[in-house]
Amino acid sequence: MPITAPLPLPGGFMNPAPDGNEVEFFVSNDSKPGTLTVALRSGPAISWWKGIKVFGNNSSFAIGLLETQDHAHGPSTVTLDLGDFVPGQARLEFWKAKAFGVHTDMVHYTFDPEPFAGQTLNFSWLTD
Q: What average pLDDT does the chain have? A: 95
Domain with residues 3-117, CATH architecture: Sandwich (2.60)
Enumerate the domain spans of the chain. Answer: 3-117
Q: Check: CB of residue 93 under 8 Å from CB of residue 8.
A: no
* Direct distance between the N- and C-terminal alpha carbons of the chain, in angstroms, rounded to an integer: 19
Averaged pLDDT for residues 113-127: 97
What are the pLDDT digits (tens) for 61-73? 999 999 999 999 9
| Residue 82 dihedral angles phi and psi, to the nearest 5° | -60, -25
What are the pLDDT digits (tens) for 19-41? 999 999 999 999 999 999 999 99
Q: What is the pTM of this model?
A: 0.95
What is residue 24's predicted lDDT score, i.e. its pLDDT? 97
